[in-house]
Amino acid sequence: MQPANIPYFERPLFFFDQARFRRALERGEKPALEIFKDAAGGAEWQMAERFREGEDVRTLVHERALFIDCLLHYAWHQYDWPDDISLLAVGGYGRGELHPHSDIDLLILTDGTAPDTVDNIERLVAFLWDLGLDIGHSVRSIDHCLELAAEDITVATNLMECRTVVGDDRLRARLNERMSPEKIWPADTFFSAKYTEQQQRHSRQQAAEYNLEPNIKNAPGGLRDIQTISWVAKRYFRVRTLKQLQGKGFFTEEEFAILQSGEDFLWRVRYGLHLLAGRAEERLLFDYQRELAKQFGYLDSDTQLAVEQFMHNYYRIVMALRELNDVLLQFLDEAILQRGERQSVTPLNERFQLRDKTIEVTQTKVFLEQPSALLEIFVLMAENPNIEGVRASTIRLIREQRHLIDDDFRADPRNAELFMQLLRSPRGLSTQLSRMTRYGILGRYLPEFGRVTGQMQHDLFHIYTVDAHTLQVVRNMRSFRSPEAWQVHPIAAEILSRMRKPELLYIAGLYHDIAKGRGGDHSRLGIVDADAFCRRHNLPSRDRRLVCWLVEKHLLMSHVSQKQDISDPEVVHDFARTMGDREHLDYLYALTVADINATNPDLWNSWRASLMRQLYQATRRALRRGLENPIDRDEIIEETRGQAHNMLRAMGLPAASVDNIWAQMGEDYFVRESADNITWHTAAIHQLHAANAKGQPGDTLVLTRNSGPGEHDGATEVFVYTPDRANVFAAVVTGLDMLNLNIHDARLYNSASGYTLDTFYVLDESGQPLLDEPRRLEQIRDTLQEELALVEDYSKVIKRRIPRRLKMFEMETRAHLTTEPGDLYSTLEITCADRPGLLAQIARIFVDHDLRLHNAKISTLGERVEDIFHITDADGELLRDDDTNRELEQAICDELEAIQ
């Protein structure tokens, strides 16, 4: 900005010919409003072009404010005003900052004695609105301003940064004098109020700077955090700009540079965001992320999309700003709130001491003389629960001297032992790892972790940056040791209570995603880093092999439980062979549960919990039985039939009727279904046949219930028994989709009597079973009966609006069909963009291609689905011809792409 002593309307704006503008107004060449609109439109276009050409954003932001000053000056003088009234800019506009669609906050200030100006004020405001300016305005006397400011910290903050645009500047000077810290909002009260305000704002943003679509203004590390530092510091030090504090000990040159460069970056993002959205949009939505990445010159690479590179840079910058916000506000807390308080000092050792409840160095050269203290301080905090934090001066020393962590530091056995001591600490591990990340220590001690800091995948499934996800995984692992875990995660809690070396689990958690973003299989690439860590920290070979195995296999248990038929004894046996022993199974289960829960809060639900529990328990039984003694298929059938027979006999069903029904079923039914399910199905089919025998018409049965303890106890079961026809599956999935129910598993059997028996496991939109909702369950039955009644001439396909987020992602549709030796069915895996009615569309494709569906595993992962279907041809034969299969894959992809 130009020096403040030059009137705003006289400062040079090279893109705005003020002389010509004034002549046009004086001559009345056009209505005044048109003249103003022409000027505003020309300025908007000119500044947008300058932004796209890469001009410095600070120049644009300040010149925009200066241009608006000019317009307001000339608009004000369209009317007659008394002397004791002025037009003030407040808030961000008061600081001389204005983005394309930011609010222009105005205060019309009087001394309380000015004659009535209501008509002129109304005409001025109407004129400005007609001009298209986004103004927010108030009309107040000095006394009224002070009254409101005393009650509301937001009003006080806005008025702190006011400046006169036009009118008598003495009014502003009187207002500022009466708003000094001695008279209103003293520095300590102001600081407490602004700090509380920031905490509440962060809480509304889930206290995370790494949201998928972050709010660049209000999220942690955003522009409001920079402003909070500025407001509190300016109030305390009594300066108008932060630059005036240089050299006064509040921040270092490096810290001021971080503030300035961070603000420059966020201003550039915000400026571009406003232009793209055409409004005051502060959320960095997916479509804007891609456009801004393109505008800022990012290009797709072999390992990262341009948008991922842009967001990686964004997250690293806001994380640095959040770290600096923490340091500077803590410095002010100590300078303002703790000033004059009597403090106790307790020595911890020769390097550290406790000042009240915060740790600090005993002298400023501690880290220079003993660099290992950069790790030791976190070990001390983990071992001493009374330490609440680090003194600001010590945090600053850590930040300034973290460069001491180099290759020699990492190779020092003393430092390796300190880090292992931290991993073995009984409490506070996740808190200290988070602190180490925030202060830049963890990413230097583990450079491979530093490389994934701020890295995010551009999808709806991975909602955290890799570093944030990794720390959450460790936090979840630690939570398995809490009393609450025995209710929420009982198996994981039991495993952790007897785990040989929990620190091995934490190391696997730190390294399981360490190779993300390098291209290739991150599970295999991560083994190299994990092995190097274990060797550097002198872990025995047995422990090293376990950690590396966990990193390599960390996705396996989730994949098998969700995408394979875990009721198949061969699937369980193969998985058990991979585990080898109970220890590997236990460690992998705990890692998988922690990983799923840290990937996306919506991902872990009762359904996934039940699948994981079933696989874990079935694998334990297989290991206990011995891998050389796999369970026999005939044994399963005999045992299941026996249990179901006993339950049906107790219900009074005639044995002959049961045998007649079962005679129509294939062996697969008795292998995959539990005795409880078979009993439920058989009893209902018997009742249907009995009703038919009495002359009551009906050939379709629809049952619903919430699964009980045991298999699939985390979902609502929908059982359909109906004559086998082409569109049965399409009709059922369409009906369930109409009810906003998500199918997660489907088992389909064809009986020798020409009926199909289909079981669907469904969850509601929040990922939960329907629980005890009789009306909802009845609605399901009625809807499916109606849909199945139309099945002979079925043409309905769900057409609903695709949610905004799903529209943001373009995804190639892929279909992969395989038939392995010994398979009962061919396996078709479809990966494509999620959308309403997708499963019904796939069902229609199966009908068109004469494919018979036997089983389906449905997985929705953010914006994409990864569905697995077990199919045969219409005659029940496997699909073995490779050429035909490739043609079928392409046809499926083409048809799904065509109906998006």
Residue 251 has pLDDT above 70, yes or no: yes
pLDDT of res. 708: 57
pLDDT of res. 753: 87
Angle (CA) 433-434-438 rounded to 5° is 120
pLDDT of res. 4: 44
Instruction: Give residue 210's identity as a one-letter amino acid code.
Output: Y
Largest distance between two CA atoms of the chain: 106
Residue 794 has pLDDT above 50, yes or no: yes
Over residues 196-222, the mean pLDDT reads 86
Q: How confident is the model at residue 863 (pLDDT cuts 50, 70, 90)?
A: low
Q: What is the pLDDT of residues 305-319, one digit of tens each?
A: 899 999 999 999 999
Residue 738 has pLDDT above 90, yes or no: no
Q: What is the pLDDT of residues 47-84, one digit of tens each?
A: 999 999 999 999 999 999 999 999 999 999 999 999 88
pLDDT of res. 9: 43
Residue 626 has pLDDT above 70, yes or no: yes
CATH, range 188-337? 1.20.120.330
pLDDT of res. 47: 95
Torsion sign over Cα 223, 226, 232, 237: negative
Over residues 379-404, the mean pLDDT reads 94
Question: How far apart (Å, rounded) are the C-alpha atoms in residues 143 and 161?
Answer: 18
Over residues 602-614, the mean pLDDT reads 88
Provide the 10 A C-beta neighbour count for residue 697: 6
User: How does DSSP assign 324-338, residue by residue?
Assistant: HHHHHHHHHIIIIIS
For residue 209, give every residue at least 6 positions away whose Cβ sits within 8 Å of its Cβ, in sequence order, or none.
219, 220, 221, 222, 315, 318, 319, 322
pLDDT of res. 257: 92
Please give the residue that has the higher pLDDT: either 743 or 595.
595
Q: How confident is the model at residue 712 (pLDDT cuts 50, 70, 90)?
A: low
Angle (CA) 761-767-772 rounded to 5° is 70
Residue 1 has pLDDT above 50, yes or no: no
Question: How far apart (Å, rounded) are the C-alpha atoms in residues 275 and 648?
Answer: 70
Question: How far apart (Å, rounded) are the C-alpha atoms in residues 240 and 253?
Answer: 19
Residue 854 has pLDDT above 90, yes or no: no
Entry pTM: 0.87
Over residues 570-594, the mean pLDDT reads 96
Q: How confident is the model at residue 8 (pLDDT cuts 50, 70, 90)?
A: very low
Residue 115 has pLDDT above 70, yes or no: no
Residue 538 has pLDDT above 50, yes or no: yes
Residue 111 has pLDDT above 80, yes or no: yes
Question: How far apart (Å, rounded) are the C-alpha atoms in residues 52 and 60?
Answer: 11
What's the whole-number average pLDDT of the chain?
89
CA proximity to 485, closest of 384, 593, 561 = 593
Q: What is the pLDDT of residues 505-514, one digit of tens each?
A: 999 999 999 9
Please give the residue that has the higher pLDDT: either 417 or 463.
417
Q: How confident is the model at residue 545 (pLDDT cuts 50, 70, 90)?
A: very high
Q: What is the pLDDT of residues 284-297, one digit of tens each?
A: 988 899 999 999 99
Radius of gyration of the chain (CA): 34
Provide the 10 A C-beta neighbour count for residue 41: 11
Domain 8-183 has CATH 3.40.640.10: no
Instruction: Give residue 748's identity as a one-letter amino acid code.
Output: L
pLDDT of res. 874: 84
pLDDT of res. 797: 53
Structural domain spans, the chain:
8-183, 188-337, 342-421, 446-623, 633-898
Bridge partners, residue 750, by sequence: 756
Over residues 337-359, the mean pLDDT reads 87
Reading the block at residue 148, the tokens are 């409101």
Residue with tokens 């599970």: 523
Residue 28 has pLDDT above 90, yes or no: no
Number of H helices, E strands in the chain: 40, 17
pLDDT of res. 333: 87
Q: What percent of the chain has pLDDT over 90?
A: 62
Of 371-385, 412-426, 580-594, 798-812, which gets the smallest average pLDDT?
Answer: 798-812
Q: How confident is the model at residue 634 (pLDDT cuts 50, 70, 90)?
A: confident
For residue 617, give every residue at least 6 positions away whose Cβ sits within 8 Å of its Cβ, in sequence order, or none.
none
Over residues 184-212, the mean pLDDT reads 86
Bridge partners, residue 110, by sequence: 85, 141
pLDDT of res. 246: 80
Over residues 184-195, the mean pLDDT reads 92
Q: What is the pLDDT of residues 450-467, one digit of tens each?
A: 999 988 876 656 778 899
Question: How far apart (Å, rounded) are the C-alpha atoms in residues 682 and 680?
Answer: 6
Q: How confident is the model at residue 802 (pLDDT cuts 50, 70, 90)?
A: very low
Please give the residue that has the higher pLDDT: either 453 or 247.
453
Residue 203's Cβ-count burial label (10 Å; 0-12, 13-18, 19+) is: exposed
pLDDT of res. 711: 54
pLDDT of res. 5: 47
Bridge partners, residue 95, by sequence: none
Question: How far apart (Å, rounded) are the C-alpha atoms in residues 389 and 334?
Answer: 12
Q: How confident is the model at residue 573 (pLDDT cuts 50, 70, 90)?
A: very high
Of 616-625, 691-700, 843-852, 879-888, which gets the smallest average pLDDT?
Answer: 691-700
Which range in 325-334, 355-364, 666-675, 769-778 is most confidently predicted, on average pLDDT? 355-364
